[in-house]
Amino acid sequence: MKPSIRAKLERLAERFDEITALMADPDVQAEQDQFRALGQEYAQIEPVVATWNRFRALDDDVEAAREMLNDGEMANLARDEIASAEAAQDALEPELLRLLLPPDPNAERNCYLEVRAGTGGAEAALFAGDLLRMYLRYADQRGWRHEAVSASEGEHGGYKEAVVRISGPGVYSRLRFEAGTHRVQRVPETESQGRVHTSACTVAVLPEVEAVEEIPIESNDLRVDTYRASGAGGQHVNKTDSAVRITHLPSGIVVECQDERSQHKNRARAMALLRARLLAQAQQAQTDAESRSRRLQVGSGDRSERIRTYNFPQNRLTDHRVNLTLYKLDEIMLGNLDQVIEPLLLEDQADQLAALMES
């Protein structure tokens, strides 16, 4: 094992001892927030330290056996014990490295899954519908809940775009690799000559973020203007300054309302709209990383940008990121996605381990 990895494990063991002592302190136990945070850190570190302690115990076994190498009668036994302990360490080392990988903070979050038709017109919309059904079947198999958020249907079926919220244990950790452009090769229902067409859809997977509390609005931060509402004329034309425009000076957000004949009602509606926009702005600030991730995930929807190809005539699915080819497309479209997702999870873990070893 590399010295740098050993040093990192030693630091974690020291921190674990420190947390254990702190959690036994009555003063810390009285501070619920601090005690809860320590408990979460304890739960995260404990499996690493427990495995590291097993590894260190094997170190002690090796050292004890080496001391017996000069004893003629015990030398053979010592060599066997050294070989056995080192083999056990070799088996433990990959587990330790995996435990050292930083957890994805979004892994256990629910997510929004967006499917959009790309290149291919009506056939792309039909395939978007097929992809969505595949994901919902997969969610059902894993016991996850799903609910429609929005949908725009295609002219001949399927969806131009659809967004669903999926909730349950480990949702984002398993679905995050579905983000990207999915290419389909098949004979469309509208194709009279049996020719295979190529179309594409894009998928975005966004972890659900925690709600941002409503932002208080100070009256000094507002400029309120009233004006006469526009109308079509006649007996109902507004002859008073009932329309309201509110400018939130710190943010520059401007809202206005003239739907009601009462200035009081228009002001109330404008304030409600302003609060909603300030909340949306705060949420956007909180999810900038997720938004950038979505833009990277979606791409242009062009056929050439693809993470996966679904070839229906050959019953073949190919994931181009891990060179995975399965001739089980019919099974996969029924929601049996684990056989596709597991290799992606393993590849991601291997990449992280390689980075850890290089660091």
Domains, the chain, ordered by start: 3-100 (1.20.58), 111-209+289-358 (3.30.70.1660), 219-286 (3.30.160.20)
Tokens 């690799």, residue located: 177
Per-residue model confidence (pLDDT) at position 94? 81
Residue 221 pLDDT greater than 60, yes or no: yes
Tokens 């408990």, residue located: 39
Mean pLDDT of 77-99: 87
Residue 27 pLDDT greater than 50, yes or no: yes
Q: 8: pLDDT confidence band, cut at 50, 70 and 90? A: confident
Tens digits of per-residue pLDDT, 275-284? 877 876 776 6
Which residue has better confidence, 70 or 24? 24
Phi, psi values for residue 100, rounded to 5°: -80, -15
Percent of the chain past pLDDT 90, that is, above it, reads 32
Tens digits of per-residue pLDDT, 279-334? 767 766 765 655 555 444 545 444 445 899 999 999 999 999 888 999 999 999 99
Per-residue model confidence (pLDDT) at position 345? 85
Mapped onto helix, strand or coil, the DSSP state of residue 246 is strand
Q: 146: pLDDT confidence band, cut at 50, 70 and 90? A: very high
Residue 234 pLDDT greater than 80, yes or no: no
Residue 261 pLDDT greater than 80, yes or no: no
Reading the block at residue 192, the tokens are 């009279």
Per-residue model confidence (pLDDT) at position 263? 81
Which residue has better confidence, 356 or 24? 24
H or E stretch covering 224: strand 222-227
Per-residue model confidence (pLDDT) at position 330? 96
Percent of the chain past pLDDT 70, that is, above it, reads 85
Cα separation, 247 vs 240, in Å, equals 21
Tokens 């894993």, residue located: 142
- Positive or negative, the CA dihedral 281, 113, 123, 157 is negative
H or E stretch covering 25: none
Residue 25 pLDDT greater than 60, yes or no: yes
Phi, psi values for residue 251, rounded to 5°: -100, -20
* Alpha-carbon distance values, 304 to 115, 121, 127 (Å): 18, 16, 17
